[in-house]
Chains A and B, each alone.
Chain A
């Protein structure tokens, strides 16, 4: 069973730039969620995708956007990067069939904005 994999592991960008982070879901999982974890804090929900559509969103501005592909892999795009976007970005996959289904997390992408 393949777990959730994310790429790249680390990334350094300049304020104002755009970034794309990638995620491959665990085999058989049809739902993907993205979380932002600032240093020393718990993860915050960004959004969730199911069947290639965003079906839930947290308190993040529109410059945070995503895609889910037919193979259930996913991308997180962030435009016009700000210093406060520096964080660990976590992808998690799950089965939508059960709302109690545990989320399986990848190891994250550490984004630094300078």
Chain B
């Protein structure tokens, strides 16, 4: 079945370091891909998305490129801040029989220290 695999955390970085969180997926067809972020005690917020191959999603300095050939959607940021500390979820959307659902990876916790 369809699935999303993320690199295990926690990822611990110093402020202004470069961030990469790896995400690969298995799916039939060409799903849309998403990154969601979850801050402590909160729900999920959409960070960015890409709907077709070679699309680049970007927001708040984060970016990810939909790579069909490697079935990947890695999240990157050039210079992280303490406020970026959160759990990041990679997800794909699967439509079937008139409804759609998000399939999430297990999440990667990011901790940024001053």
Interface, chain A (partner B; CB < 8 A): 4, 6, 33, 35, 40-45, 48, 50, 55-56, 58, 90, 92, 99-100, 102-108
Contacts and interface: CB of A to CB of B under 8 A. Distances in A.
Contact of B99 (A56, A92, A105): A56
A22 to B, nearest CB: 14
Contacts of A40: 106-107
A85 B105 CA distance: 20
Interface string B27-52: 00000101010000111111001010
B95 A102 contact: no
A48 B43 contact: no
Interface in B43-101: 43-46, 49, 51, 89, 91, 93, 95-101
A55 B97 CA distance: 8
A99 B100 contact: yes
Given A42-B4, A45-B103, 11 more contacts: A4-B43, A6-B43, A40-B106, A42-B89, A42-B106, A43-B44, A43-B89, A44-B104, A58-B101, A90-B44, A100-B51
B69 to A, nearest CB: 21
Nearest to A58: B101
B17 interface: no
B102 A107 contact: no
Contacts of A42: 4, 89, 91, 104-107
B106 A48 contact: no
A73 B69 CA distance: 41
Nearest to B36: A105
B38 to A, nearest CB: 9
Given A99-B93, A105-B44, A43 B99 contact: no
A58 B95 CA distance: 13
A108 B43 contact: yes
Nearest to B49: A102
